[in-house]
Chain A
């Protein structure tokens, strides 16, 4: 337990040092507030704007990010299974999956607004498009991880495709799948925020950021960024905790001991 306490200490000390340098440099070099406000100014602004920040957080994170993340990861996973299930689809669908991989967010954001309207569903759709591919790639890679002898065992049981999938290949793929879940936890947030630059009701983290940049309230922009960083890190942290619990058996988690 003191281990974890110490473990938390390092990033906190590191972070405080970073903030201190930031404060000193911005004040010392007289950096214009419209370029980079000092942490103290950002903090003051953050405290002032709590209701706004909460409203934005709810709009962007609780709606767009979570819904899009769940659907995008789910879709990537399902397509990976489909592709795995059928060699035909593997040859036909996988290249198309690659095609979807980098549909640039700024290209699809306006289109999604066209299709799904201004409110959060269009943002969630952008998040779906962004999170789909990492999940597809990692699940496909993960599904090939079970070793030959582990598969042979299933073959001797004449296990059905689904039994092999659930009892062998998915557990073996879990480290890869969690990689995707972790990468996507931050991608989803970026996606939702960027998508709000392309038309939105007047609430949301991305809306606030773009609008307040235009108004040169850069301190509020950074307050919003701080909220995004905390929310994103917490999201990532939760996924990482679940990962430790689920893939406890993987050498990377149990510390490589034999």
Chain B
């Protein structure tokens, strides 16, 4: 069997249900693959891991992947299961923020560590100065909703499938929140895609293995989205840390299903172009990327 390591972008959770389910359900071994799934975390940069040879395939956001490509890590998108962005910014109504026009003078929580590109692209579009003493104050937000609960930030970043659920649990909801959904605003940048190193694509055997991998993964996604309870349970069981909660993972599968297209992992060119333009606009990348994606895998499905 071909041995491959998949490096996740974050800790084990239903955001990656497709891969976890594919492994547990034996879809990978059926495809003659031996897949190791490496959880990520706040301290793990998948681009770095793959450059160092610690992984063969990584789950990454396109902003980070293309930026890394310019830095000399030749990442190539081979599939894009997530079609939409799950990123949102939410502001409790008591802050008085009801529209983008209300932002100036407020404090906005943002995830950094390579997750900040969509936010800056958006601010760039709004023409808001994010530098110190500028129109808005930017905070590096912790990966939870505490800054909002504690009023340290007026608005915070959330993922529909994760932190937003925590906010709902905490008694927040559409009736007391102003919600800015990046996808709805057309500000979304492509999220979880599968990337490999460019040089490996020259090896037909590798390409074949990648193809089988993507295929099996999509079976995993399909199965997960059809059987959310079982998927959530599988995710909880595969979490080494014992931190994952069944109810929350179930919620996450439900939300993720709105973002993933389990039947077609091919990259949507329109979204790709928009992502590239946004990245170029705020100089996250400096030139139109060449060879940042390939259809050779998805064509072979």
Contact = CB atoms under 8 A, between A and B. Distances in A.
Q: Do chains A and B touch in the complex (CB under 8 A)?
A: yes
Interface of A: 32-35, 110, 113-114, 117-118, 196-203, 207, 210-211, 213-218
Interface string B58-78: 000000100110011100000
A139 B146 CA distance: 38
B271 interface: no
27 contacts: A34-B47, A34-B71, A110-B146, A113-B142, A113-B146, A114-B150, A117-B152, A118-B152, A199-B139, A199-B142, A200-B140, A201-B137, A201-B139, A207-B112, A210-B43, A210-B113, A211-B112, A211-B114, A211-B116, A211-B140, A213-B113, A214-B64, A214-B112, A216-B48, A216-B68, A216-B71, A217-B71
Given A202-B140, A215-B114, A216-B67, 14 more contacts: A33-B71, A34-B51, A35-B51, A113-B142, A113-B146, A114-B146, A118-B147, A118-B152, A201-B140, A207-B140, A214-B112, A216-B45, A216-B48, A218-B48
Contacts of B152: 117-118
B52 interface: yes
Nearest to B68: A216
B114 A214 contact: yes
Given A200-B139, A214-B115, A34 B147 contact: no
Interface of B: 42-43, 45, 47-48, 51-52, 64, 67-68, 71-73, 112-116, 132, 137-142, 144, 146-147, 150, 152
Contacts, number: 85
A209 to B, nearest CB: 10
Contacts of A200: 139-140
A21 B69 CA distance: 27
Contact of B48 (A35, A114, A118): A35
B45 A213 contact: yes
Given A35-B52, A113-B146, A203-B132, A210 B112 contact: yes
A118 B132 contact: no
B254 to A, nearest CB: 27
Contact of A32 (B45, B51, B150): B51
Given A32-B72, A215-B114, A199 B140 contact: yes
A202 B112 contact: yes
Task: Say what secondary structure dominates the interface of chain B.
Answer: loop
Contacts of A113: 142, 146
B139 A118 contact: yes
A32 B51 CA distance: 7
Nearest to B142: A199
A12 B43 CA distance: 33
A33 B139 contact: no
B139 A214 contact: no
Given A34-B72, A35-B51, A207-B112, A215 B67 contact: yes
Contacts of B68: 34, 216
Nearest to B109: A199
A123 to B, nearest CB: 12
B4 to A, nearest CB: 20
- 4 A-B pairs with least C-beta separation: A214-B114, A214-B113, A199-B142, A211-B112
Nearest to A199: B142
Given A35-B48, A211-B116, A110 B67 contact: no
Nearest to A114: B146
Contacts of B112: 202, 207, 210-211, 214
